[in-house]
Structure 1
Amino acid sequence: MIRAFVTDKDRLRQVPDLFDMHEKIVWADLMQPTKEEEAAIEKWIGVDVPTREEMEEIEISSRLYSEDGAYFMTATLPAHADGETHVMGPVTFVLAKGKLITVRYHEPRAFKTFPMRAENANLNCMDGQSILIALLEAIVDRLADLLERASSDVIDISHRIFHPTEKKASKRDQGFQIILRQIGREELFISNIQDSLVSLQRVTGFLGNITIADPHEKELRARVKTLSRDILSLTAHAESLSQKIIFLLDATLGMINIEQNAIIKIVSVAAVVFLPPTLVASIYGMNFDLMPELKWEYGYPLAVGVMVLAAVLPFWWFKRRGWL
């Protein structure tokens, strides 16, 4: 699918067909393009559109490059981040002949919200370069929102760890198991956001070099610098959240150990309390012929009293020592 946009008084307006107004089009957005659509874009702009395999190359050198007067920048962006499972994928930005081409195979939310906002508000979208900077600003704003949501989730997890509402140990154990899974999901999410921010930092650095080459783009250079600072601050925030996640993981494991130690302590105390009465009962359960206590009138109450006393004394001692 190809979405084509033209500028109308510094605002974006989507046109139904790429080829009806191909001279005025400043942004072509390719979403899961077919071979025919790639060929049409290549014929229109005069540069090769990177394939999905080329976009997913892990070599750093293949992410940012210039070729035949066109600049290619690839960043990793999240999609469907509001659901339980998010998707990470590459997005390639191509600047050529004053126009912008974006190639993607997933749906980051900024690609939905930015065109609508750029149509209703003046974002200084005059050419491909200014559109790219405004689009990157929308992407960074989206990542900031995602980090704020992750920060709220981390606070909620922390409250559930240190202030559990369940009274029963079995319920608390189930709660800690759920928390461990949530911590794992949050760690993966924040890690992916960090990877995305790193790729965007490299893109803004490359874009800054492009704007430096043009002495008339002073305002764009200032916006790129601001964008780079925003990404750095978000990176620091993401690192802080990552450290909190590690702390919460250690705290959860510590709470589980405390619960397990409490259970083991109760079992151990019970074993010690019932060991002396068991010993007394074992002695008087022996099958010897000569056991004088068996002939006593108060032998049975005496044996029962000894067993009760043997159980109460260890329990009293543990309570006095503060072990219970």
Structure 2
Amino acid sequence: MIRRLRRAMRRAYRRPTVDLSHPARSPLGSSVVNCVVYEDGVRRPCTGDAHDALREVRKQGRGFVWIGLHEPTHAEFAVFAALFGLHPLAVEDAVQAHQRPKVQRYELTEPAEYPLEGGRAGAGVLFTVLKTCRYVGHERGTSEIVDTGELMVFTGPDFVITVRHGRHGSLGPLREALEERPERLAKGPAAVLHAIADHVVDDYLAVADAVQDDVDDAENAVFGGHPRQADVGQIHLLKRELLELRRAVGPLERPIRALASSPLPSVGPQIRPYFRDVADHVARVNDQIGTYDSLLDSILQAHLAQVTVAQNEDMRKITAWAAIVAVPTMVCGVYGMNFDHMPELRWTYGYPLVIGVMVTACALIHRSFRRNGWL
């Protein structure tokens, strides 16, 4: 049974015979963003494809390959899965996206075209899923504040494969920054994984700080001006985007802690302290999200209370004016009756007297309501 599974796996991940370095015949299309070889932290020129780069690294026995992909298809990624011996479950997650942030360890599967030698063969592969976030503000109206994407990282003993999904989260600037510090790249693929995780978490901090400004604006709109001028829809949008940010940050705290404390073969002891710093940043963002969410709940409740109070004040004013108008309405209603014998009906000063009585009564009632705060 095991042999059958292995033969099926070989057929599924069998490398095509076409030349991948030729763009016209390459099945990879435009999904390959970059393919770079690093030796002792220094970038080396690589004129061939991923096969040539990996063959060169494993022939030398040092250095690693960093391949960047953007939204590859199953057919495109199957070439790399066969070349590096990636586990089918991790490959499926990397291609389909919409995964929960996590860190999982897989053994290298057969076949690998250029096998590892020595202790590096048992190191396995770390499969890391990260949610990327970008603050877009109100540039697209009120439909979205935080734009999210996904970044998958395969970290092996001598290779790093990054798979990006979404319109943002490019690793080009990060790659350039790392190349300026070859002493970090010299620590191997785990250093690249830390740099990527740190870069993503720094984006979380920037998004959280930007969302804080929106929360402050909502708070000022509720408590600083007329309560009816506050936009309840904007407050609801902030809460929804905070939920999206929580889904990206919340599940990541435990895997990052595991990278900082667990003895994983792919992450050496010299890299673990760096992951502790990333874990602290993730915890900070989680605390910020919880604080903002609680504050938005308080702002929304305060806004609803203010609207209720304002409506009660309006009803009191309407009631007060209705009471004032009721006096002349009653008097006019009495004198509108068609009876022959009514008081002061034939008196010369009857009309001015009735008008004076109505004005005086209305003035007294108005004064009473103002003293009680109803008007």
Same fold (TM over 0.5): yes
Structure 2: gaps of 5 or more residues: 1-30, 58-63, 109-123
Q: Can you list the C-alpha shifts for 1:109-156, whole angstroms capped at 9, x where unaligned? A: 363542343244557123221101011011111110111111122112
**What is aligned with 1:300?**
351
Q: Find the aligned partners of 1:13 and 1:245 in 2 and give their Cα distance.
A: 51
Instruction: Tell me the residue number matched to 2:25.
Output: none
What is aligned with 1:314? Answer: 365
Q: Distance in 1 between matches of 2:367 and 2:44?
A: 83
Partner Cα separation in structure 2 for residue 215 and residue 90 of structure 1: 22
Matched with 1:224 is 275
The alpha-carbon distance between structure 1 residues 214 and 38, as it changes in their structure 2 partners (threshold 3 A), is closer
Which residue of 1 is the match for residue 38 of structure 2?
7
Q: Structure 2 length normalisation: TM-score?
A: 0.74
Percent sequence identity is 23
RMSD between aligned residues: 2.9
TM-score by length of 1: 0.84
Residue in structure 2 matched with residue 254 of structure 1 by the alignment: 305
Give the aligned partner of residue 184 of structure 1: 236
28-37 vs 48-57, greater mean Cα deviation = 48-57
CA change 1:215–1:21 in 2 (3 A) is closer
d(CA) in 2 for partners of 1:183, 1:28: 41
Inter-partner Cα distance in structure 2 for 1:261 and 1:15: 75
Q: Which residue of 1 aligns with 2:70?
A: 31
Q: Note if contact 1:74-1:203 (Cα within 8 Å) is conserved in structure 2.
A: no
In 2, Cα distance between equivalents of 1:296 and 1:91: 95
- Would you tell me which structure has more helix in proportion to its own residues? 1
Task: Report deviation, 1:92.
Answer: 2.4
The whole-number CA distance in structure 2 between the counterparts of 1:187 and 1:314 is: 47
Q: Look up the SS of the partner of 1:322 in the other structure.
A: coil
Match of 2:12 in 1: none
Partner of 2:127: 72
Deviations 1:167-220 (A, max 9, x none): xxxxx63x22x2x1221121122222222112221331343366x244992220
Paired residue total:
312
Q: Which amino acid letter does the alignment assign opposite residue 289 of structure 2? A: A
The alpha carbon displacement at 1:320 in A equals: 2.3
Relative to structure 2, which stretch is displaced further, 294-303 or 99-108? 99-108
8 Å CA contact 2:67–2:162 kept in 1: the answer is yes
Which of 120, 129, 148 does residue 88 from structure 1 map onto? 148
| Matches of 2:201 and 2:342, distance apart in 1 | 88
Q: Distance in 2 between matches of 1:219 and 1:303?
A: 98
**Which consecutive unaligned segments of at least 5 residues does structure 1 have?**
167-171
SS of the residue 1:219 aligns to: coil
1:70 counterpart letter in structure 2: V
The residue that corresponds to 2:4 in the other structure is none
Q: Which moved more, 1:252-261 or 1:128-137?
A: 252-261
Q: Which residue of 2 aligns with 1:244?
A: 295
Query: Is the CA contact 2:94–2:152 (under 8 Å) kept in the aligned structure 1?
Result: no
Evaluate the alpha carbon distance shift between residue 270 and residue 81 of structure 1 in structure 2; reply closer, same or farther with a 3 A threshold: same
The residue aligned with 2:195 is 134
Counterpart CA distance in 2 for 1:99 and 1:26 is 5
- Does residue 56 of the first structure (1) align with residue 86 of the second (2)? no
Aligned to 2:19: none
Tell me the SS of whatever aligns to 1:136.
helix
Q: Please give the alpha-carbon distance, in whole angstroms, between the structure 2 residues aligned to 1:15 and 1:247.
A: 57
Distance in 2, Cα, partners of 1:241 & 1:206:
27
Q: Distance in 1 between matches of 2:267 and 2:371?
A: 83
Per-residue deviation, 1:54:
5.5
Task: Give, as a single letter, the amino acid of the residue that structure 1 aligns with 2:365.
Answer: P
The answer for the alignment partner of 1:169 in structure 2 is none
- Out of 49, 53, 67, the residue aligned to residue 21 of structure 1 is 53
